[in-house]
Amino acid sequence: MTRDLSKLDRQLINRLQDDLPLVSNPFATIGDDLGLSEQDIVDKVRQLRDDGFLTRFGPFFDAEALGGAFCLCAMSVPEDRFEDVLTKVNAHAEVAHNYERDHRLNMWFVLATESRGDIMRTAKEIEHDTGLEVLLFPKKREFFVGFRVNA
Amino acid sequence: MTLDTKDRAIIEATQAGLPLVPQPFAVVAETLDMSENELLARLKSLKSQGIIRRIGAAPNHYRLGMTANGMSVWDIDDKVVDELGEQVGSLSFVTHCYRRPRALPVWRYNLFAMVHGNSREEVLIKRDRIADLLGEACRASDILFSTRILKKTGMRLSGQKG
């Protein structure tokens, strides 16, 4: 299951988090930087993906710029009703992901819909289905993150 | 911002990822019945419009051992929250950083910063660095660790509208 990443693998994972140039042979420059052939880079990227170290290689889209609407939501779910409420919440296809967190507000999920109006409608439906209040935390501003995993 | 049918087709064809071959754009262009040059020009345009943020790979946090994730939340004076949010976002270990509305009286926090780490201890150390940066502008804070993934679907980016 686990294999040790070589120094080269780590360099490659770090390098692949940079923005790659939109050119015919995007892996060639990485190969030049790391002292490998273009084909070596392609093979290594595929291996890292197949081994699960990388989830995806390609363009990352700004989902809102494509026209969708998103909203972080939270609920305070009584312990003894948790599984029942979870089933009702997750039944909505608009719930994109959902996390249990260690707080009084213990269920945090993201609604992803075609329009802003659908966010409100879905939240109301979930309140109706569960009898619990859904708090909405729409993003007011997103701050640029320079995050990268240091592999 | 305008997306025409061809742009939509490009988004549809690439949102699951690019083929891992030396010339990935040439392969995609062929499936879309357009030239590689046109595809690259359209991708550049989508990027300049902010629809594409970057081309690259997404590392799998969990596979790389970063199994702890904490949503750190902060109650920051509205007058300075945007300025400080920029600084928090630029910390190398913050994966997402947003200003969101408060939900008083139950929720007083208006700045959310997601932090990943190899352990809760590591996440807490990173949280402390955010606290140092925020200083007196921070009136209260909390951190919510995820204890269970309850649902995770691939974000489906609709390419069918327009």
- What interface predicted TM-score (ipTM) does this complex get? 0.79
B120-141 pLDDT, tens digit per residue, is: 999 999 999 999 999 999 999 9
* Domain residue limits, chain B: 5-48, 68-145
Class at the top of the CATH hierarchy for domain B68-145: alpha beta
Question: Can you give the pLDDT at residue A65?
Answer: 78
Both tokens of residue B130? 């955010």
Q: Pick the more confident residue, B156 or A124.
A: A124
Contacts of A119-123 spanning 24+ positions with Cβ under 8 A: A119/A69, A119/A70, A119/A71, A122/A92, A122/A94, A123/A71, A123/A73
Q: What is the C-alpha to C-alpha distance for residues A17 and A31, in angstroms, rounded to an integer?
A: 15
Number of Cβ within 10 Å of residue B66's Cβ equals: 22
Check if the beta carbon of residue A119 is closer than 8 Å to that of residue A86: no
Asked whether the predicted pLDDT for residue B154 surpasses 80, the reply is: no
Q: What percent of chain A has pLDDT over 90?
A: 74
Interface test with A, best of B21, B129, B143, B148 (most A CBs within 10 A): B148
Banded pLDDT at A3 (limits 50, 70, 90): low
- Residues in Cβ contact with B109 at an 8 Å cutoff, skipping those fewer than 6 apart: B73, B74, B75, B100, B102, B140, B141, B142
Q: What is the C-alpha to C-alpha distance for residues B106 and B2, in angstroms, rounded to an integer?
A: 41
Check if the beta carbon of residue A114 is closer than 8 Å to that of residue A63: no
Q: What is the C-alpha to C-alpha distance for residues B156 and A109, in angstroms, rounded to an integer?
A: 16
Question: Can you give the pLDDT at residue A146?
Answer: 67
Check if the beta carbon of residue B46 is closer than 8 Å to that of residue B96: no
Question: Can you give the pLDDT at residue B58?
Answer: 86
Distance to chain B for A45, nearest Cα, Å = 8
Number of Cβ within 10 Å of residue A130's Cβ equals: 19
Per the CB < 8 Å rule, is B150 touching A107?
yes
Q: What is the CATH number of domain A69-137?
A: 3.30.70.3460
A35-68 pLDDT, tens digit per residue, is: 999 999 999 999 999 999 998 899 998 877 777 8
Does B118 lie at the interface with A, CB-CB under 8 angstroms?
Answer: no
Does A1 lie at the interface with B, CB-CB under 8 angstroms?
Answer: no
Number of Cβ within 10 Å of residue A110's Cβ equals: 18
Q: How many CA atoms lie within 13 A of A135 on its CB side?
A: 20
Per the CB < 8 Å rule, is A60 touching B149?
no
* Domain residue limits, chain A: 7-50, 69-137
- Segment A139-145 shows an average pLDDT of 89
A97-126 pLDDT, tens digit per residue, is: 899 999 999 999 999 998 889 999 999 999
Does A140 lie at the interface with B, CB-CB under 8 angstroms?
Answer: yes
Question: A102 — alpha (psi -120 to 50), left (phi > 0) or beta?
Answer: beta
Distance to chain A for B65, nearest Cα, Å = 9
Question: Can you give the pLDDT at residue A151?
Answer: 67
Q: What percent of chain B has pLDDT over 70?
A: 93
B1-14 pLDDT, tens digit per residue, is: 578 999 999 999 99
Asked whether the predicted pLDDT for residue A150 surpasses 80, the reply is: no
